[in-house]
Amino acid sequence: MSSEHSIVGKNLRKVDGFKLVTGRPAFTDDIHIPGLLYGKILPSPLAHARIKRIDTRKAKVLPGVHAVLTYQDVPRVPHTTAGQSWPEPSPYDTYLLDSKMRFVGDRVAAVAAESRAIAEEALRLIEVEYEVLPAILEIEQAMSDGTPVIHDEPDSKGIHDAQHNLAGYILKEIGNVEDGFRESDLVIEREFRTQRQQHCPLEPHVTISWLDSDDRLVIRSSTQVPYHTRRQVAMILQLPVQRVHVIKPRIGGGFGGKQEMLLEDICGALALATRRPVKIEYTREEEFNMARSRHPQILTIKMGVKRDGTLMANKMTVLATTGAYGSHANTVQGNTGSKVLPIYRTPNMRFECHVVYTNTPVAGAFRGYGCPQGYFAQESVMDEIAYTLGMDPVELRKKNMIRLGDIDELSAQLGEGRKGLPRHIRSCGLPECLERGAAAINWVRKRETLPEKSGHLRRGVGVACSMQGSGIAGVDWAAASLKLNEDGSFNLQVGAADLGTGADTVLAQIAAETLGVTLDKMIVCSGDTDFTPFDVGAYASSTTIISGGAVKKAAEKVRDHLLRLASKMLDVPVDNLTCRDNMVVTKCECEKSVSMEDLAHYAMYREKVQVMENASHWNTDSPPPFCAQFAEVEVDTETGQIRVLHLVTAVDLGVAINPMQAEGQSEGAVAQSLGYALTEEMLLDGSGRMINPSFLDYKMLGAKDMPKLTTILVETEEPLGPYGAKSISEIPINAPAPAVANAVFHAIGVRFRKLPIRPEDVLRALREKAERG
């Protein structure tokens, strides 16, 4: 497996690491641009309102203001902001600027001025008279008859039922769940609620836009989706695509929040209006109010099982809100079904989901993409089934889990927004994940001995499993191009978006391995719509497998060309040559060889040919990574506080191209999931305004809060992945929350079905349990 390679499978330093540890200018805002103007957006103070009158005259005459835009000044082009392949499977319900406000923070107007202070002053001078409309804040209210319609505009498209605030609706069934329940010995039905979580990338959204010397609109932005952004901005601003150039520098975190065309359109509009460079940079408060977040869901799960633990039926019903606009509405929730139910071989499965609009902050893509919600519910019910049957939770999973060679039919019904493709499981390390994870946390002994009754502290252990996907089958695609330089180095050009994930490094490792060169010979250029070929961007855990697939293909073509050249140069048949260690060498013992540098000189100055190849790649399947996560917790029964002591992640990622980076991805995902479980929540008041838009009161786990982390990379070989790789960036975020909830049940005998699990909830539940006796 990975041990036979020299670059793949090695913990090599990131190719962009040097500039990051030295603080070299590398991020979107690390640039001085002469004449730069500051753009700012006027956010709506109301959750649901129409603009009756808007007067920008005072703002316009303020010295230093160069543009003030309202809905009257810009084209009205319905679109989605979701960074997805065209045609996007999200409703086209958003407008550059509109006369209707649909959430607190919605765009009222935008200004560009000489300084941040003047821009802020200009916002204060814009006079707006609103017609206040009743706001819908509760998910359960959204579809009732007589409820105000949030999207009553005639020109939006792709909304399932606008009159009832229904952005999307999904129903898929395999077999017949009612039959399945009838055949079951035990049926458990439970309701779960998950909250609004925010990505909180350390770098807020920031975009700079200007007209270059060819009068093309340049957009330099912190984005995960440069190509989708180019297409969408062109459409919205009514420019030809060729007149837009999107550049993605280093990104300070995204986690799906930047899989969105968020500021680029308005920033471009200001650049066009002023004919000056314009920067829009969210403050942290704006990042909370006006970016994206995870879809809150109410999930009802009903599972039927035989006495021996065999699952017979699984019915999941979801009511989710996408907030005020439908970005990723269908696809996130589709995932809640398609990537969650099939992890267990259940003959009867049913998934039904309503995704509603509410006048709340807009939800979007967030690492895990619907799976954290679904797995919290499903893995909690699995735990309850195991407890009721007197079965070890790990054994229950082993009995039912999907296996190597299986075909997941539900995926065929629930493709991300369009007809999907059935999923073949060609690699599956889940059994080993469960075994090695259980051993690492000392599962068997702790299940027997805990919770030890000592004072007011109680300990427990819990388990949860998950699967994800690697790229969207039949949809995600990428291209790569490789160019030889005269010193034997290579330019690797990929549209792929490294957002801190290490993508540039992993792709360079794949190329270097294929070419038989060392990593330092690769110069990576990524995410520039003029200079790198197409890539859908960084999401759906697609980069290693899809972009990597394109890189491998391009590298193979380059290698073939190099071998032909070397064959001519060395007068040796091509079959007798191979690339390794920055050289082309004979396979036989005659030991003829040429260094890559000499070969490059030969190619360029003798043969006069540029060795350069490109390739495109996509998959007809989405090989799932698998994960088993175990948590040990300690509950303080006096304060209700839950402390996670140990979190074990055993993950089958296929082959780890860079094990150290893969571990890092897993550890970061776990931190986000523990926050999801215990502390993170965007809180809204009665008028739809966020109460805690700052790090003081939106609590993420810090360095002192993290438990002991054990990460076990279980390697399998995936035939569809380059060198056997699948993915790892999302999957470890799916199961820590249910693992913690299950561990808490083990510790104190109380189930929590609402996230986050706050200390007050624990105390209340303990009190109720004591009263019940």
What is the SS3 assignment for 99? Answer: coil
Residue 14 binds other proteins (CB under 8 A) = yes
Which residue of 242, 610, 620, 694 would you call a contact of other proteins, by CB under 8 A?
Answer: 694
Using the minimum distance from each CB to other proteins, give the nearer residue, 405 or 702. Answer: 702
Which residue of 704, 770, 772, 773 would you call a contact of other proteins, by CB under 8 A?
Answer: 704
The DSSP secondary-structure symbol of 383 reads H
Using the minimum distance from each CB to other proteins, give the nearer residue, 586 or 637. Answer: 637
Using the minimum distance from each CB to other proteins, give the nearer residue, 35 or 87. Answer: 35
Using the minimum distance from each CB to other proteins, give the nearer residue, 209 or 711. Answer: 711
Residue 29 binds other proteins (CB under 8 A) = yes
Q: Which among 29-37, 134-142, 169-177, 614-622 is the span making contact with other proteins, rule CB under 8 A? A: 29-37
Q: Which among 11-19, 34-42, 477-485, 742-750 is the span making contact with other proteins, rule CB under 8 A? A: 11-19
Query: What is the footprint of other proteins within residues 475-504 (CB under 8 A)?
Result: 499-502
Residue 699 binds other proteins (CB under 8 A) = yes
Using the minimum distance from each CB to other proteins, give the nearer residue, 171 or 683. Answer: 683
Using the minimum distance from each CB to other proteins, give the nearer residue, 249 or 429. Answer: 249
Which residue of 436, 709, 717, 749 would you call a contact of other proteins, by CB under 8 A?
Answer: 709
Query: What is the footprint of other proteins within residues 175-214 (CB under 8 A)?
Result: 199-204
Per-residue burial over 425-462, b = 16 or more CB atoms within 10 Å of its CB, e = otherwise: bbbbbbbbbbbbbbebbebeebbeebbeeeeeebbbbb
Would you call the peptide bond into 451 cis, given omega within 30 degrees of 0 as the criterion? yes
Using the minimum distance from each CB to other proteins, give the nearer residue, 253 or 347. Answer: 253
CB 394 within 8 A of CB 465: no
Residue 454 binds other proteins (CB under 8 A) = no
Q: Which helix (H) or strand (E) holds 513?
A: helix 503-515
CA-wise closest residue to 729 among 550, 535, 544: 544
The DSSP secondary-structure symbol of 454 reads B
Residue 137 binds other proteins (CB under 8 A) = no
x-marked contacts with other proteins along 601-640 as a string, rule CB under 8 A: -------------------------------------xxx
What is the SS3 assignment for 757? Answer: coil
The DSSP secondary-structure symbol of 574 reads G
**Residue 542 C-beta: closest distance to other proteins, Å:** 18
Residue 769 binds other proteins (CB under 8 A) = no
> Could you give the C-alpha distances from 139 to 189, 614, 717, 761, in angstroms and in order?
21, 48, 43, 22
Query: What is the footprint of other proteins within residues 401-420 (CB under 8 A)?
Result: none
Residue 10 binds other proteins (CB under 8 A) = no
> Could you give the C-alpha distances from 518 to 129, 681, 767, in angstroms and in order?
64, 45, 62
Amino acid, single-letter form, for residue 524: V
> Could you give the C-alpha distances from 587 to 370, 517, 580, 593, in angstroms and in order?
50, 16, 11, 10
By CB under 8 A, the count of residues binding other proteins is: 74
Question: What percentage of the chain's residues is helix, strand, coil (to nearest 5)?
Answer: 30, 25, 40
Contacts of 99 (CB under 8 A, 6+ apart): 50, 51, 71
- Cα dihedral value 245, 250, 254, 256, nearest 10: 40
x-marked contacts with other proteins along 51-80 as a string, rule CB under 8 A: ------------------------------
Query: What is the footprint of other proteins within residues 322-361 (CB under 8 A)?
Result: none
**H helices then E strands: how many in the chain?**
19, 28
CA-wise closest residue to 466 among 664, 193, 731, 670: 731
Using the minimum distance from each CB to other proteins, give the nearer residue, 21 or 61. Answer: 21
Residue 251 binds other proteins (CB under 8 A) = yes
Residue 27 binds other proteins (CB under 8 A) = yes
**Residue 18 C-beta: closest distance to other proteins, Å:** 7
Using the minimum distance from each CB to other proteins, give the nearer residue, 23 or 146. Answer: 23
CB 395 within 8 A of CB 188: no
Using the minimum distance from each CB to other proteins, give the nearer residue, 547 or 661. Answer: 661
Which residue matches tokens 């996130």? 332
Which residue of 700, 749, 750, 754 would you call a contact of other proteins, by CB under 8 A?
Answer: 700
Residue 293 binds other proteins (CB under 8 A) = no
Q: What span, in angstroms and rounded, lies between the C-alpha atoms of 101 and 132?
A: 10
Would you call the peptide bond into 75 cis, given omega within 30 degrees of 0 as the criterion? no
Residue 18 binds other proteins (CB under 8 A) = yes
Residue 539 binds other proteins (CB under 8 A) = no
x-marked contacts with other proteins along 273-292 as a string, rule CB under 8 A: --------x-xx--------
DSSP string for 2-57: GGG-SSTTS-PPPTTHHHHHTT-S-BTT----TT-EEEEEEEPSSSSEEEEEEE-H
Using the minimum distance from each CB to other proteins, give the nearer residue, 337 or 640. Answer: 640
Q: Which helix (H) or strand (E) holds 298?
A: strand 297-305
Angle at which helices 393-400 and 371-389 cross, to 10° = 110
Q: What span, in angstroms and rounded, lies between the C-alpha atoms of 762 and 299?
A: 21
Residue 36 binds other proteins (CB under 8 A) = no
Residue 750 binds other proteins (CB under 8 A) = no
Residue 144 binds other proteins (CB under 8 A) = no
Amino acid, single-letter form, for residue 298: I
Q: Which among 15-23, 68-76, 435-443, 568-576 is the span making contact with other proteins, rule CB under 8 A? A: 15-23
The DSSP secondary-structure symbol of 139 reads G
In this structure, what token pair is assigned to residue 552? 């491998």
**Residue 31 C-beta: closest distance to other proteins, Å:** 8
List residues bridging with 466 in a β-sheet. 627
Query: What is the footprint of other proteins within residues 90-119 (CB under 8 A)?
Result: 115-117
Residue 255 binds other proteins (CB under 8 A) = yes
Which residue of 308, 390, 605, 696 would you call a contact of other proteins, by CB under 8 A?
Answer: 696
Which residue of 13, 193, 345, 561 would you call a contact of other proteins, by CB under 8 A?
Answer: 13
Residue 252 binds other proteins (CB under 8 A) = yes
Q: What span, in angstroms and rounded, lies between the C-alpha atoms of 490 and 508?
A: 10
**Residue 734 C-beta: closest distance to other proteins, Å:** 15
Count of CB atoms within 10 A of residue 704's CB?
A: 5
Using the minimum distance from each CB to other proteins, give the nearer residue, 14 or 617. Answer: 14
**Residue 708 C-beta: closest distance to other proteins, Å:** 9
Q: Which among 18-26, 85-93, 101-109, 506-514 is the span making contact with other proteins, rule CB under 8 A? A: 18-26
Residue 697 binds other proteins (CB under 8 A) = yes
Residue 763 binds other proteins (CB under 8 A) = yes
**Residue 550 C-beta: closest distance to other proteins, Å:** 23
Using the minimum distance from each CB to other proteins, give the nearer residue, 574 or 691. Answer: 691
Which residue of 134, 703, 770, 772 would you call a contact of other proteins, by CB under 8 A?
Answer: 703
Query: What is the footprint of other proteins within residues 635-664 (CB under 8 A)?
Result: 638-640, 660-661, 663-664
Q: What span, in angstroms and rounded, lies between the C-alpha atoms of 153 and 165?
A: 12
In this structure, what token pair is assigned to residue 717? 């070989």
Amino acid, single-letter form, for residue 739: A
The dihedral built from the CA positions of residue 754, 755, 759 and 762, taken in this order, carries a sign that is positive
Using the minimum distance from each CB to other proteins, give the nearer residue, 419 or 704. Answer: 704
**Residue 683 C-beta: closest distance to other proteins, Å:** 5
Residue 687 binds other proteins (CB under 8 A) = no
Using the minimum distance from each CB to other proteins, give the nearer residue, 22 or 213. Answer: 22
